[in-house]
């Protein structure tokens, strides 16, 4: 359930980031070469339409990526917690390690190791900063 609930949230967050990044992308003026005349400005409608196309493309790309990362990470974290039967910071580190490895699987073993270690370190840092102190974390319910 964590994976199914997290993927749409990741998708929405990725879409927001995509729109934000695309809006910054269109802010830079064209680079002018010496001796080349300045290109004529385009009509507002054309500029607006092209910015919308770029925003849609970036939002789609980022939303897919965020949904995938969120689904894989939350699924791995849930599997680690269920498998170990303990709710602690090591679940996040192992889930980050597995997620980093899965996301870089197409790029070979060195990239998988680098991605796994990087994602595990990132997960540990984020969980350390964002989590409650250990005495406030309730253990998962017994079944």
At 41-84, the pLDDT tens digits run 777 788 778 888 888 898 999 899 899 889 989 888 888 888 88
Task: Output the pLDDT for position 47.
Answer: 77
Task: Output the pLDDT for position 109.
Answer: 92
Six-digit token pair at 20? Answer: 């934000």
Q: What is the mean pLDDT of residues 119-126?
A: 90
Task: Output the pLDDT for position 135.
Answer: 54
Task: Output the pLDDT for position 48.
Answer: 78
Q: How far is CA 3 from CA 16, 31, 38, 79, in A?
A: 20, 44, 51, 10
Phi then psi for residue 65, to 5 deg, are -65, -45
Position 113 pLDDT exceeds 90: yes
Q: What is the mean pLDDT of residues 100-111?
A: 91
Average pLDDT, the chain: 83
% of residues, the chain, pLDDT over 70: 88
Sign of CA dihedral 66, 69, 73, 74: positive
């Amino acid at each position: 359930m964590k994976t199914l609930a997290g993927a749409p949230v990741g998708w929405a967050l990725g879409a927001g980031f995509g729109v934000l990044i695309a809006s910054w992308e269109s802010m830079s003026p064209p680079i002018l070469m010496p001796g080349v005349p300045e290109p004529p400005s385009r009509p507002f409608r054309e500029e607006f339409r092209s910015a919308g196309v770029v925003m849609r493309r970036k939002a789609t790309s980022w939303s897919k990526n965020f949904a995938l990362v969120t689904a894989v990470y939350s699924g791995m974290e849930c599997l680690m917690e269920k498998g170990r039967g303990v709710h602690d910071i090591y679940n996040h580190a192992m889930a980050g390690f597995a997620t980093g490895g899965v996301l870089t699987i197409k790029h070979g073993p060195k990239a998988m190791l680098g991605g796994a270690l990087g994602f595990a370190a990132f997960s540990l840092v984020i969980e350390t900063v964002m989590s409650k102190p250990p005495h406030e974390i309730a253990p998962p319910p017994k079944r």
